[in-house]
Chain A
């Protein structure tokens, strides 16, 4: 039981020295800058990866749905299917390492760019399936009604199917964005100083794991909360056509 006693003592000591440790981990030598710089990098990666994910995912979903429904775009549809299989079938960390060491291994490439590509390309696959599910959830009568009025397939897709599909998939999409934010925490594997790595660096200076990790966790949590609030607002705005 010796380990238990020493564990209890260290816990007690943790609470006794809270202000000292706070000073040591964040104030001394301006160590908080590791966190703010890391947070900036994390936000940068997440933001651009999000955009790539949405745009590319949307396009892939369009190709998949149009291909499956009308039999057109056979070649593109095949490529998209292969893409989804490969991306969703392998870990995002392996993809990140392959892009960094494999594809850009021989050139001095900006690491943030690599991370944006890796996380963006990965997220696109999941966003594509979310959008595809949303489009397929719309009753076939909507397409028929639009076409019977003389609108083209693309016009119906754009004006009638998509707005309803996006509204339906908003919760799932918000979920994917939350996953994406947190997934960027593996950026440290290509020696990128993101938020997680920032906390790690502090830990290596102060030999104190608890303080910086809790700080990092709280920052991730607040980012997710902000994102959640944003998605909820959007959901409410799009729900105006539902019965009161």
Chain B
């Protein structure tokens, strides 16, 4: 459902991505790992054009989103994104955070969106926070709300950009659990993370990136037990 062809991205002189070709199939749970500065976040952010690729093509559901005439706003509705720093809207209540996009884009009526949001909040056990503001929540709660906010658009794929990196250790679990539930429901997921346990448990494919390229693709069992690439071996020896 996402096809990336020979993608490159440079910031000025700095080449961050140097030619990536990869296909994400429907139902895939892809985890991207690698040392910092390897380009994993940039790669993920290119998939919904938060970063504009320098060259290469990205196709989503048979549409080339890198084409100049493509209506990226419409395609982004299919792609939920979760950020390291949550990026909830601090001036809106939790309910408004979740319903803003579907109502503004006239995909759902206010009542529909409200019911939908409440159902999602119930699912994560935070329905009592509907009228609270983000500043009143813990980090783990914020990130779960951020995930729910993306889900309210009924996306076909979810992109996670280090969703647990800014959390206190005791809050990582609740966020990972929600992501595992999502995976179990069959959501297509692409996740940049340092949580190797999550990768091992949930991913059906692990991509190891370094210096702007994908150096190894493997199923998690093989990747963690028997990495082929030397740099992947070095990386794993440091993080495991």
Residues on A facing B (Cβ under 8 Å) = 139, 141-142, 144-152, 155, 159-160, 163-164, 167, 240-244
Shortest A147–chain B CB gap in Å is 7
**B135 & A243 in contact (Cβ 8 Å cutoff):** yes
**B90 & A164 in contact (Cβ 8 Å cutoff):** yes
Q: Is B17 an interface residue when CB atoms closer than 8 A count as contact?
A: no
Shortest B7–chain A CB gap in Å is 18
**A142 & B87 in contact (Cβ 8 Å cutoff):** yes
Seed contacts A145-B83, A150-B74, A241-B134; 15 additional CB < 8 Å A-B pairs: A144-B50, A147-B76, A148-B79, A149-B101, A150-B77, A150-B105, A150-B153, A151-B73, A151-B105, A155-B104, A159-B104, A160-B91, A240-B133, A243-B135, A243-B136
Which chain B residue shows the least CB distance to A238?
A: B91
Q: Is B100 an interface residue when CB atoms closer than 8 A count as contact?
A: yes
Q: Is B189 an interface residue when CB atoms closer than 8 A count as contact?
A: no
CB neighbours (8 Å) of B48 from chain A are 148
**B101 & A144 in contact (Cβ 8 Å cutoff):** no
C-alpha gap A148/B100 in the complex (Å): 13
Contacting residue for A147 out of B50, B93, B134, B149, CB 8 A: B50
Which chain B residue shows the least CB distance to A149?
A: B101
**What are 27 A-to-B residue pairs whose CB atoms are below 8 Å?**
A139-B85, A139-B87, A141-B83, A141-B85, A141-B87, A144-B83, A145-B89, A146-B89, A147-B50, A148-B150, A149-B80, A149-B150, A149-B153, A150-B73, A150-B77, A150-B101, A151-B105, A159-B104, A164-B89, A164-B90, A164-B91, A167-B91, A241-B90, A241-B135, A242-B133, A243-B133, A243-B135
Contacting residue for B135 out of A144, A148, A159, A242, CB 8 A: A242
Which chain A residue shows the least CB distance to B132?
A: A241
CB neighbours (8 Å) of A159 from chain B are 100, 104
CB neighbours (8 Å) of B77 from chain A are 149-150
**A150 & B87 in contact (Cβ 8 Å cutoff):** no
Q: Is B65 an interface residue when CB atoms closer than 8 A count as contact?
A: no
CB neighbours (8 Å) of A164 from chain B are 89-91
C-alpha gap A152/B72 in the complex (Å): 9
Residues on B facing A (Cβ under 8 Å) = 48, 50, 73-74, 76-77, 79-81, 83, 85, 87-93, 100-101, 104-105, 133-136, 146, 149-150, 153
**B73 & A144 in contact (Cβ 8 Å cutoff):** no
CB neighbours (8 Å) of B87 from chain A are 139, 141-142, 144-145
**B76 & A150 in contact (Cβ 8 Å cutoff):** yes
Interface centre among B88, B89, B91 (most CB of A within 10 A): B91
Interface centre among A139, A148, A164, A243 (most CB of B within 10 A): A148
**B89 & A160 in contact (Cβ 8 Å cutoff):** yes
Which chain A residue shows the least CB distance to B135?
A: A243
Shortest A141–chain B CB gap in Å is 4
**B50 & A152 in contact (Cβ 8 Å cutoff):** no
**A152 & B136 in contact (Cβ 8 Å cutoff):** no
CB neighbours (8 Å) of A148 from chain B are 48, 50, 76, 79-81, 150
CB neighbours (8 Å) of A147 from chain B are 50, 73, 76
CB neighbours (8 Å) of A146 from chain B are 89, 101
C-alpha gap A149/B90 in the complex (Å): 16
Shortest B106–chain A CB gap in Å is 11
CB neighbours (8 Å) of B50 from chain A are 144, 147-148
C-alpha gap A141/B50 in the complex (Å): 11
Which chain B residue shows the least CB distance to A158?
A: B104
C-alpha gap A152/B74 in the complex (Å): 9
C-alpha gap A48/B32 in the complex (Å): 58
CB neighbours (8 Å) of A145 from chain B are 81, 83, 87-89, 146
**B76 & A241 in contact (Cβ 8 Å cutoff):** no
Given contacts A151-B104, A155-B104, contact A142 B76 (CB under 8 A): no
Interface centre among A141, A144, A150 (most CB of B within 10 A): A150
C-alpha gap A144/B76 in the complex (Å): 11
CB neighbours (8 Å) of A160 from chain B are 89, 91, 100
**A152 & B73 in contact (Cβ 8 Å cutoff):** yes
**B91 & A241 in contact (Cβ 8 Å cutoff):** yes
